[in-house]
């Protein structure tokens, strides 16, 4: 099976893609393109999957760069292969031939580009990273490399949608402490539960950061098991582990 790579007109002409699980070598609960080195999948199979992604991005495997994601607002500036992955949830670079690879399984993968300045970024933004500023800090780190935020285009890839993201009242409270206006991203659910609009919140944060254009691809990871891994779906189904999707961009 060939790879399935979702792209956005906002990021052209730069090579980029939100990879689905199709076209990978993993099997069982990981079936497909599992690129999560932290998963319990076989390491050699994950390596094969990442090689396929590097080939699709037209970079050497060492130049497919990832960080140790920890749901933070930390941003790493990179210019080549990383021997030791820093703890961060976003990366920026102005170095041609380096592909930034972000892993997700319901959280937002966000790809950024100022094609005019030759600066790109990639971020992993779950609710915690988004509310603590990882998207804004990615834009700031791109500016430090010469980008102009008015020229930055940002695209949110496949992530969990509001119709599938049930949360407790404590999360609403956390968001209201940050900004009372955040109530618009929560809809009433069953009992005391709410349905949270993660990509809607991400788009708002990108607009507040002043990027020129921002969009969401519209794909829900929870609702399409044939194409996407989902941490929440795995939890609901009682599976032991889950695969990780990868999103990449390069100059």
- The beta strand positions in 66-223, using DSSP E, are 75-77, 90-93, 99-104, 108-114, 119-125, 153-156, 166-167, 186-188, 194-196, 213-216
Chain Cα centroid distance, residue 128: 13
pTM: 0.97
- Tell me: domain 5-161+197-250, CATH 3.60.140.10, correct? yes
- Domains of the chain, residue spans: 5-161+197-250
Task: Please report the pLDDT score of residue 78 as a whole number.
Answer: 97
User: For each of the chain's 251 residues, which pLDDT tens digit applies?
Assistant: 799 999 999 999 999 999 999 999 999 999 999 999 999 999 999 999 999 999 999 999 999 999 999 999 999 999 999 989 999 999 999 999 999 999 999 999 999 999 999 999 999 999 999 999 999 999 999 999 999 999 999 999 999 999 999 999 999 999 999 899 999 999 999 999 999 999 999 999 999 999 999 999 999 999 999 999 999 999 999 999 999 999 999 99
- State residue 225's pLDDT score: 97
- Residue 83 confidence (pLDDT): 87
């Amino acid at each position: 099976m060939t790879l399935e790579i979702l792209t956005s007109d906002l990021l052209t002409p730069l090579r980029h893609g939100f990879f689905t699980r199709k076209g990978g070598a993993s099997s069982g609960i990981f079936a497909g393109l599992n690129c999560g080195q932290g998963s319990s999948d076989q390491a050699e199979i994950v390596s094969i999957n990442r090689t396929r992604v590097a080939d699709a991005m037209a970079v050497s495997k060492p130049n497919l760069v990832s960080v140790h994601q920890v749901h933070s607002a930390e941003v790493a500036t990179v210019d080549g292969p990383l021997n030791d992955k820093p703890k961060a949830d976003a990366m920026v670079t102005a170095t041609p031939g380096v592909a930034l690879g972000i892993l997700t399984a319901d959280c937002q993968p966000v790809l950024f580009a100022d094609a005019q300045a030759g600066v790109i970024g990639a971020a992993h933004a779950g609710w915690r990273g988004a509310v603590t500023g990882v998207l804004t800090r990615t834009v700031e780190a791109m500016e430090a490399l010469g980008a102009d935020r008015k020229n930055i285009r940002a695209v949110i890839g496949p992530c969990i949608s509001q119709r599938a993201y049930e949360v407790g009242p404590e999360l609403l409270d956390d968001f209201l402490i940050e900004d009372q206006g955040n109530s618009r991203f929560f809809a009433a659910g069953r009992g005391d539960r709410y349905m949270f609009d993660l990509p809607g919140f991400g788009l708002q944060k990108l607009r507040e950061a002043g990027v020129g254009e921002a969009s969401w691809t519209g794909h829900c990871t929870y609702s399409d098991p044939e194409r996407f891994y989902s941490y929440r779906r795995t939890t609901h189904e009682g599976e032991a582990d889950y695969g990780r999707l990868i999103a990449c961009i390069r100059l």
